[in-house]
Structure formats: structure tokens, C-alpha cells
Amino acid sequence: MKMKTQSRSMRMCLVTLAPCLLCLVQLGCSDRTLTISQHRYINTAMHLHRPLAEQTGDPLEVNIVCVSPEDLEKTENDRLKPGSGITSKEWYAHRPEVGGQQPGKFWLPSDQIYLLTNMTGLCGTVKGPSLAGSVEDGVAQKVVRGIKLPKKPGHRQSAVYVFPKFIGPDGTVLPTPPVVFSPPTAYSRNLAVEIGVQPGGDNYGQFIKNTTKR
């Protein structure tokens, strides 16, 4: 009798564990982390007309945005499709606002948007302050934890975007291409990007690049 009870308990345990094991195999259940490596000074384009030694940059807001195939069924989100060529300038001009869906804005749930910002009242989950460069922050890397993948993370239209809000000399947001992880499950759980400034190049040298292993 005791043996039968143990066998029945073992079967129930295996039935309970099976969905969890399948979920782990698909790499879709666990949260992601994003490690941001930052240069000594970032977001320096607004200081273009200062002496070089004074081009120390300003705090840089970063938005991490998760998009599912279901989100892309809405025409309002067409520019969020992987391969659309969306820029940070577009995202910050049309990102969702607190209070519900607004005309001319992207339509996304607030729990799919993660923010590094010094501002308040924005749509999304604040994960920390804006980046300030490794000199001001005292660290070369910032780690953002608890990024939940969108639905169907293995689908080719599923994506995680990282939008840096670089500001140009005229005070407007630069049209910087974001980093796009699509589909997210094609990459390591530990996502990684580099943000900095390089001599020459587009957007006054401001850049973000993907440094994640696939």
C-alpha cells in the first residue's frame, strides 16, 4: 500500500513539473537582464559647441520596450515591427502616455515598458535613474533586472527594443537606431549593449550597439 502511494505521488509530481520544464527549455519563462556598458561621458552632442574638456554630457534616458506579435496587429504599432527602421526620435515622440491609449501614440501596456529616467509620470516601470556616464555614475556598467519577455518570445515578430534618448545641439532627440533583440529567445538571457560616443559617425558620434552573444 505504501509503495502504491509513493508511486502515485511521484506521477503527480512529474505531471506538475512537466510544464515548467518545457517552459525552461523554450527559454520563455525566465526574466531577462540587460547590462549596459557606458563610456566615461555619454549624451555629449548637446555640448558640441563647448570646449572639448567641457563636453561631459548630460543624463541619458533609456527605454526598454517589449513587443509581441499581438501588439503588432494594431496599425498604431506598425513602426514597432522588426525591420521597420524605427529610430529613438520616433519612439520618444509617440511612446504611450499615462491614462490610456492616445491618438498618434503607440498602443502598448505599461508593463511592457521599462525606464531608466529622472522624470516622473511616464508610462512604464522605472528601473533606475538616467545614465550619466561612468565618471559621474562611478560604474562602467548598469544592470537592469526583471525584464519580462513579450508573449510568443520565439516568434520572428517578437522583439525587445532599447531606445537611448540622445539629445542634439538644438535640444531635439536624435534619430538614433535602437538595439533590437528579435526574436528575444535567439539571444542569451543576459542581454548586453554598449552606449557611448565615437569620433565622427552619425548623430554626432552618439551610438548604441548590441554586444550580446546569440
Alpha-carbon distance of 79 to 87, in angstroms, equals 9
Residue 122, classified by CB atoms within 10 Å of its CB into exposed (0-12), middle (13-18) or buried (19+), is middle
How does DSSP classify residue 133?
A: H
For residue range 39-84, what is the model confidence (pLDDT) as tens digits? 999 999 999 888 888 889 999 999 999 999 999 999 999 999 999 9
Least confident of 15-29, 63-77, 139-153: 15-29
Query: Which pLDDT band, with edges at 50, 70 and 90, does 11 fall under?
Result: very low
Which pLDDT score, from 0 to 100, does residue 201 have?
84
pTM: 0.86
φ, ψ at 5 (rounded to 5°): -65, -40
Query: Which pLDDT band, with edges at 50, 70 and 90, does 29 fall under?
Result: low
Grid cell in block for residue 135:
565618471
pLDDT for residue 28 is more than 50: no
Q: Which of 205, 207, 192 is nearest to 160 (CA)?
A: 192
- Average pLDDT, stretch 2-30? 44
Q: What percent of the chain has pLDDT over 90?
A: 77
For residue range 97-136, what is the model confidence (pLDDT) as tens digits? 998 888 999 999 999 999 999 999 999 999 999 999 999 9
- Long-range CB pairs of 127-132 (<8 Å, 24+ gap) are 127/64, 129/59, 130/59, 130/60, 130/61, 130/62, 131/36, 131/38, 131/42, 131/43, 131/59, 131/60, 131/62, 131/195, 132/42, 132/57, 132/59, 132/60
pLDDT for residue 188 is more than 80: yes
> Is the Cα dihedral 174, 177, 183, 189 positive or negative?
negative
